[in-house]
Amino acid sequence: MRQAYRTALVTGASSGIGESFARLLAGRGADLVIVARRADLLDGLARELVERYRVAVEVVAADLTDPFQREEVERRLRADPVELLVNNAGYGAFGAFAELPLDDQLAEIELNVTTLVRLTHAALPGMVARGRGGVLNVASMAGFTPSPGSATYGATKAYVLSFSESLHSEVAAKGVHVTALCPGFTRTEDDAPPNLLWLRREDVARAGLDAVATGRALSVPGAQYKAALPALRLVPRPLLRAAVNRMWHQAADSR
């Protein structure tokens, strides 16, 4: 059954795919809570959405790697539940793991994994009690493969993928939809057309929203990535590791 969400909370909403989620949801008539660190960007987006779509938009400026600021968002989800939670906030630190600062890796895990788990835990019980609702977790195609050069990022996205598919199985029969969105390379600005590798952020956001509304556990946007997914799942892991290792070393040698 397709669900239409009247209220939604979107993290990482000030730019990129998160901004596209907010615009698409507002266009569908959903009242929003938009969360990100940059209050100025959120305020500008909120004004635009209210004026254009006549929806209510609440701005929450918060650094979700800060436990105290994150706790405010958790309390907001419990006290005033939304029908859809979009866990979009995340980032990647790229380079050889041993050469990157440990604090950057731990902050990446804090945002990409811990925050996602905590916000989902704040929102999901109320959805189960009401018998409807959705959680859309932004993972990545990197979650399906080894990721030399972005080892921590790939591992966090593999966690998000596994976590989301497991929750989907737990709550689907209770009327709650949990979906992992796994985009490939995505342009975060709108001034470049899609090509063989790169997707448009609006197309990615739309694919995720349509998937969670219809109760699909997994969304892989883009025909090129849909075609690649069966191979990624079927290729023996030693061959897959060898392929990505070659790509990593070629990229490293070209720098």
Active-site positions read 153
Residue 101 contacts by C-beta under 8 Å, 6 or more apart in sequence? Answer: none
The answer to whether 228 and 18 have CB atoms below 8 angstroms apart is no
Which single residue is written with the structure tokens 């998160």?
Answer: 18
CA distance 219 to 208: 6
Q: Which long-range contacts (CB under 8 A, 24 or more apart) does 149-153 make?
A: 149/94, 149/95, 149/96, 149/248, 149/251, 149/252, 150/92, 150/93, 150/94, 151/97, 152/92, 152/93, 152/97, 152/105, 152/108, 152/109, 153/92, 153/93, 153/94, 153/108, 153/112
3-state secondary structure of 93: coil
